[in-house]
């Protein structure tokens, strides 16, 4: 199947069995200025047709050297609960997750208190190395001295839980909410090898972590949730 649209697909997840929710980058000229942005869309999985664009954002683009920085500021996270709810964190510096119905209507906002802490120079340098390995030329962009806000969204369908990953890329933490947006618990990830950035896969089948560095993707770690 080929989805409709000629732009690059950035993030995508299944919404039930019949639809895909995902985002596409866009670069458009408005008058004498150029804007970079994203559209968050729904596609039909049977024929790949575009059903709906339900969220958009864009930023003015100045020089070519600023392009990567604007691209980073458009980073976002998407997750879906069965065939009924879509979760979108459109601004990763803010501790907020928008909740949409399967028809693209925003009905709620899940938020939590988050004080972004200063990062070590080691972590900042590691992020620069990781982004150069993944993306190449970074232009004038340099990482923030503060920890990221939201870095990932994951959903456990059977448990009805939304996992919001945030904080340091070296020592990630999670705020976990039920599907109604009520805070269930907080937890942190320990025991992973130091000096690596990790992504997580949290589902009904279990919890995994894997390194974000492109040349080290085969390293996968199994996680166990412990109550204390």
**Residue 3 confidence (pLDDT) above 70:** no
| pLDDT tier for residue 1 given thresholds of 50, 70 and 90 | very low
**73: nearest Cα among 149, 152, 169:** 149
Burial 5-37 (b: 16+ CB within 10 A, else e): beeeebbbeebeeebbbbbbebeeeeeeeeebb
**Residue 106 confidence (pLDDT) above 90:** yes
* Cβ atoms 161, 149 nearer than 8 A: no
Burial 41-73 (b: 16+ CB within 10 A, else e): bbbeeeeeeeeeebbebbeebeeeebbbbbbee
CA–CA–CA angle 84, 165, 35 (5° rounding): 75
**76: nearest Cα among 60, 61, 98:** 98
What is the rounded average pLDDT of the residues 49-71? 86
pLDDT tens profile 22-53: 998 887 777 777 888 899 999 999 888 999 99
What is the β-pairing status of strands 96-101 and 106-111?
A: antiparallel
92: number of Cβ within 10 Å: 19
pLDDT at position 169, please? 84
**Residue 207 confidence (pLDDT) above 50:** yes
* Cβ atoms 83, 18 nearer than 8 A: yes
Report the share of the chain in percent with pLDDT over 90: 47
What is the rounded average pLDDT of the residues 93-106? 95
What is the rounded average pLDDT of the residues 151-161? 94
Residues 150 and 137: their CA atoms lie apart, in Å, by: 24
Instruction: Go through the domains of the chain in sequence order and give each one's CATH number.
Output: 9-223 (2.120.10)
Q: Is the pTM of this model over 0.85?
A: yes
| Beta strand residue intervals within the chain, DSSP E | 9-15, 19-30, 33-44, 50-61, 77-81, 85-89, 96-101, 106-111, 150-156, 161-166, 173-178, 183-188, 198-203, 206-211, 220-223
Higher pLDDT, residue 9 or 205: 205
Higher pLDDT, residue 36 or 88: 88
Burial 96-105 (b: 16+ CB within 10 A, else e): bbbbbebebe
pLDDT tens profile 107-152: 999 999 988 899 999 999 989 988 888 888 898 899 999 998 899 9
| pLDDT tier for residue 7 given thresholds of 50, 70 and 90 | low
């Amino acid at each position: 199947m080929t989805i409709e649209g000629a732009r690059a697909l950035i993030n995508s997840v299944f919404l039930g069995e019949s639809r895909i929710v995902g985002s596409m980058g866009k670069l458009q000229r408005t008058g004498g200025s150029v804007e970079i942005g994203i559209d968050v869309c729904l596609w039909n999985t049977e024929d790949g047709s575009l059903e709906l664009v339900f969220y958009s954002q864009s930023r003015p683009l100045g020089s070519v050297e600023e392009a990567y920085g604007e691209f980073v500021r458009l980073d976002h996270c998407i997750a879906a609960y069965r065939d009924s709810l879509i979760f979108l964190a459109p601004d990763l510096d803010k501790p907020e997750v928008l909740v949409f119905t399967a028809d693209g209507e925003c009905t709620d906002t899940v938020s939590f208190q988050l004080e972004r802490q200063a990062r070590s120079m080691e972590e900042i340098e590691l992020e620069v190395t990781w982004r150069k390995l993944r993306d190449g030329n970074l232009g004038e962009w340099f990482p923030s001295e503060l920890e990221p806000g939201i870095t990932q969204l994951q959903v456990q369908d059977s448990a009805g839980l939304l996992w919001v990953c945030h904080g340091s890329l070296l020592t990630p933490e999670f705020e976990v909410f039920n599907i109604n947006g009520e805070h269930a618990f907080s937890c942190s990830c320990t025991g992973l090898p130091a000096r690596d950035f990790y992504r997580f896969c949290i589902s009904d089948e279990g919890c995994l972590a894997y390194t974000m560095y492109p040349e080290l993707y085969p390293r996968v770690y199994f996680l166990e949730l412990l109550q204390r």
